[in-house]
Amino acid sequence: MFNKYFYISALIILAGCSSTPEVPDMSVGVPNIPGVPNIPFLNSNESEELELKTATEIDPVDEIKSRGDGYLSFTYNSGHLDNIIVSLKSEQIVLAKGKTVVKKLPVGKYSFDVSGDQIDTERYTAELNYKGHTHKSIFDIPSQYSKIGFRSISEYDVDHKIALLVVGSTLVNPLIEIIKLDKPPYVLEIACIIDGELKEGDKFTTGRARGEVAKLTYETVIVGFEPISKEPIFGTRTCGYSDKVTYTSPLRMTLPEGLYRMNASGESNNIYVRGGNVNTIEITSNGFEGSSADWR
């Protein structure tokens, strides 16, 4: 009889010792209990992986920083467009000028595309490294201008697609009037001078380009070299632009993608000039004939 009661008592004691104590809510941080490591809550898969590591292999600080949510912040800072679009995963985020949108996302690496009317689509990457980390992306859209030749574009700007326009004619040197019909305005080059006077309102009535200057840009350029030291000599290149310019034929120029009106030999047509293409226009006595092909 004594052995029977001793056996039952032992079972009760063992059952009480093997019961699981109440686990505090790890999602809001572990209280400072002696013997309990202060690490975030782990799911079953993570627990199994950590069991394979020894205590000396685990840095609690790194474990905390590697989990949780962070934030991607998108700001459209400046530009002539009312809105641009950020494509993140399957979501399209519309950014109004001067506004910021913040997305809460799990820690990790991300890529997203930025685009808008008449601007080239650019791909960017971002990485959220730890809980609460914010990665800020600020976008500017500078107005680009027509010119002969090519220009360098800052890698931090969202660029307009640049088109090549070639205009020829079977007629004898017709004048070609080009008018920019959409944004950005004032992209058509009239004149560029180095270290000279050029101001808004100046009118050009003769020469290869004719029109009234509505906007100026300034650029530092090398104009020569010192005869002895060979050090470069710098000057200021000032260019004037308008949204309505008359050019002499034949014409070959780069200009931003967009909608233009072309007037020549009594004919008038609206033409959408495609970025990344050679846009060829032939002016005849019967009107315009055009074609477009990829220049790459």
pLDDT confidence of residue 21: 47
pLDDT confidence of residue 110: 94
- In this structure, the strands spanning 232-242 and 188-194 are antiparallel
Candidate from 38-42, 122-126, 280-284 with smallest mean pLDDT: 38-42
pLDDT confidence of residue 23: 43
Percent residues over pLDDT 90 in the chain: 30
* 248 against 296, higher pLDDT: 248
| Model confidence pLDDT, tens digit, residues 256-270 | 889 999 988 778 889
For CATH 2.60.40.1120, the residue range(s) in the chain are: 69-141
| Model confidence pLDDT, tens digit, residues 73-101 | 999 988 878 889 999 988 999 999 889 99
Bond into 250 cis (ω within 30) = yes
pLDDT confidence of residue 1: 52
Full-model pTM: 0.53
Measure the CA–CA gap between 70 and 131, rounded to whole angstroms: 5
Candidate from 29-38, 48-57, 121-130, 256-265 with smallest mean pLDDT: 29-38
Name the amino acid, one letter, at 291: S
Residue range 116-144: mean pLDDT, rounded:
86
Tokens of 24: 């505090």
pLDDT confidence of residue 54: 46
pLDDT exceeds cutoff 90 at 276: no
Measure the CA–CA gap between 91 and 14, rounded to whole angstroms: 56
Tokens of 138: 């600020």
pLDDT confidence of residue 269: 87
Domain 69-141 matching CATH 2.60.40.1120: the answer reads yes
Q: What is the largest CA-CA distance in the chain?
A: 128
Distances (CA, A) of 111 to 46, 124, 137, 281: 26, 6, 12, 39
